[in-house]
Structure 1
Amino acid sequence: MSLFHGVSAFPITPTDAEGRCDHHALRRVLEPVARARVDSIGLLGSTGGYAYLTPDQRREVLEVALDAIGGRVPVIAGIGALRSDDATALARHAASAGAAGLLLAPVSYTPLTEEEVFQHFAAVAAATGLPLCIYNNPSTTHFTFSQRLLERLAGLPTVAGVKMPLPADGDFTAEIGRLRAALPSDFAIGYSGDWGAAESLLAGADGFFSVAAGLLPDSFLRLARAAITGDAAGTARRDAAFGALWELFREFGSLRVMFMAAREAGLTDALPPRPILPLPEAQRDRVMAAMRAAEAA
Structure 2
Amino acid sequence: MFTGLSAFPLSPLGHDGIDEPAFIGLMARLVAARVDSICALGSTGNYAYLRADQRRRITQLAVAHAGDIPVVIGIGALTTDDVLAYAEHAQHAGADGLLLPPMSYQPLQAEEVFALYESVSRMVDIPICVYDNPTTTHFEFSDELHAAIARLPNIGSIKIPGVPADHDAATNRVKDLKARLPSGVTVGVSGDAFAARGLNAGCDAWYSVVGGLFPEAAQAITQAARAGQAGLATKRCDALSPLWQLYGRHGGSLRVIATAAEQLGLVSPECLPRPLQTLDDAGRRALADVLETLALN
Instruction: Mark yes or no: TM-score above 0.5.
Output: yes
Tell me which residue corresponds to 1:62.
Answer: 59
**Aligned ranges 1:213-292 → 2 under 5 Å:** 213-252=211-250, 253-269=252-268, 270-292=270-292
Instruction: Give the match's secondary structure for 1:134.
Output: strand
1:117 paired with 2:113, answer yes
Tell me which residue corresponds to 1:126.
Answer: 122
**Aligned ranges 1:124-203 → 2 under 5 Å:** 124-167=120-163, 171-203=169-201
Q: CA deviation at 1:79?
A: 0.1
Tell me which residue corresponds to 2:76.
Answer: 80
Letter matched to residue 227 of structure 1: A
Q: Is the 8 A contact 1:198 1:236 kept in 2?
A: yes
Q: How many correspondences in the alignment?
A: 293
Letter matched to residue 279 of structure 1: L
Q: Is the 8 A contact 2:165 2:197 kept in 1?
A: no
> In structure 2, what is the Cα distance between the partners aligned to 1:224 and 1:296?
17
Q: Is the 8 A contact 1:244 1:290 kept in 2?
A: yes
Q: CA deviation at 1:107?
A: 0.4
Which region of structure 1 is more displaced relative to structure 2, 130-139 or 160-169?
A: 160-169
> In structure 1, what is the Cα distance between the partners aligned to 2:14 and 2:57?
14
- Structure 1 segments, 4+ long, off by >2 Å, are 167-171, 288-297
Q: Is the 8 A contact 2:71 2:96 kept in 1?
A: yes
Q: Is the 8 A contact 1:241 1:293 kept in 2?
A: no
Q: Structure 1 residues 296 and 110 mapped into 2: Cα distance closer, same or farther (>3 Å)?
A: closer
Gaps of 5+ in 1: none
> In structure 2, what is the Cα distance between the partners aligned to 1:251 and 1:196?
17
> In structure 2, what is the Cα distance between the partners aligned to 1:51 and 1:206?
27
Deviations 1:149-183 (A, max 9, x none): 11111111101111110136663212101112111
> In structure 1, what is the Cα distance between the partners aligned to 2:116 and 2:35?
30
Q: CA deviation at 1:289?
A: 2.8
Q: CA deviation at 1:290?
A: 2.3
Q: Is the 8 A contact 2:26 2:266 kept in 1?
A: yes
Instruction: Give the match's secondary structure for 1:173.
Output: helix
Q: Is the 8 A contact 1:260 1:279 kept in 2?
A: yes
Q: Is the 8 A contact 1:21 1:57 kept in 2?
A: yes
Q: Percent identity?
A: 42
1:23 paired with 2:25, answer no
1:36 paired with 2:28, answer no
Q: Structure 1 residues 187 and 260 mapped into 2: Cα distance closer, same or farther (>3 Å)?
A: same
Instruction: Give the match's secondary structure for 2:13.
Output: coil
Instruction: Give the match's secondary structure for 2:187.
Output: strand
> In structure 1, what is the Cα distance between the partners aligned to 2:41 and 2:49?
10
Q: Is the 8 A contact 1:172 1:200 kept in 2?
A: yes
> In structure 2, what is the Cα distance between the partners aligned to 1:84 and 1:16?
30
Given the two structures, how large is their TM-score scaled by the length of structure 1? 0.94
Q: Is the 8 A contact 1:129 1:158 kept in 2?
A: yes
Q: Is the 8 A contact 2:156 2:185 kept in 1?
A: yes
Letter matched to residue 278 of structure 1: T
> In structure 2, what is the Cα distance between the partners aligned to 1:231 and 1:59?
40
1:100 paired with 2:96, answer yes
Instruction: Give the match's secondary structure for 1:199.
Output: helix
